[in-house]
Amino acid sequence: MTLLSAKYIAALYSAFRLMPPFERYNLPLASRIEFKIVNDESAYGYFHCDPNLKIEISKGRCLHYLTVSETLLHEMCHLTLYNKGYKHWDAHGATFYRLADQVSTIYGFDPKRL
């Protein structure tokens, strides 16, 4: 049994969206997002919004629960900025890093990895 499947990523997302800090951002339900496992060794994951919301996690880079969680939380930071209407939701700028640092502190992750 592999834990890296779209079904399990959707379940993790469903839990994280109800936990701090995401619970206050009214993120879409998992049923409104396509979750996909890709085999891309150049990236951990992606968030896409065109034409539909999609979060991809790479099995080429995410080999265990910790990396999967960090990657999903990272993509959820992009989703949060997109959902709030930020013009540069896909950038790794100051606004993104403020949110990512907050998430890292809450979950005990290294901010440089998120």
Q: Look up the pTM and report it.
A: 0.95
Please give the pLDDT value at position 1. Answer: 47
Please give the pLDDT value at position 94. Answer: 96
Please give the pLDDT value at position 63. Answer: 85
Joined tokens for residue 94: 């100051």
- The 10 Å Cβ neighbour count of residue 54 is 15
- The 10 Å Cβ neighbour count of residue 16 is 18
Please give the pLDDT value at position 38. Answer: 97
Joined tokens for residue 73: 């939380």
Please give the pLDDT value at position 2. Answer: 61
Across the chain, which has 114 residues, the per-10-residue mean pLDDT values are 84 98 97 97 96 96 92 98 96 96 95 88
Taking CA atoms, 49 is separated from 1, 18, 113, in Å, by: 30, 21, 23
Please give the pLDDT value at position 93. Answer: 96
Taking CA atoms, 8 is separated from 30, 31, 32, 84, 105, in Å, by: 11, 13, 15, 26, 24
